[in-house]
Amino acid sequence: MLKVKFDENAAKKVSNLGLLAPGDFASVRRQAKFRPIKNGDDFYERLEQEVALKNEEKSARIGF
Domain that holds residue 26: 8-58
Q: Is 45 among the domain residues?
A: yes
Assign 3-class secondary structure to 21-56.
Answer: CHHHHHHHHHHHCCCCCCCHHHHHHHHHHHHHHHHH
pLDDT given at position 64: 61
Q: Is 18 among the domain residues?
A: yes
Q: Is 63 among the domain residues?
A: no
Q: Is 33 among the domain residues?
A: yes
- Residue 4, pLDDT > 90, answer no
d(CA 63, CA 59): 11
Q: Is 64 among the domain residues?
A: no
Q: Is 21 among the domain residues?
A: yes
Tell me, what DSSP letter sits at residue 25? H
Tell me if residue 18 falls in helix, strand or coil: coil
Q: Is 2 among the domain residues?
A: no
**Taking the complete model, does pTM exceed 0.85, yes or no?**
no
Instruction: Tell me the per-residue pLDDT of 9-55, one tens digit each, with 9 for 90 and over.
Output: 888 998 898 889 999 999 999 999 999 999 999 999 999 999 998 87
Domain count, the chain: 1
d(CA 61, CA 9): 35
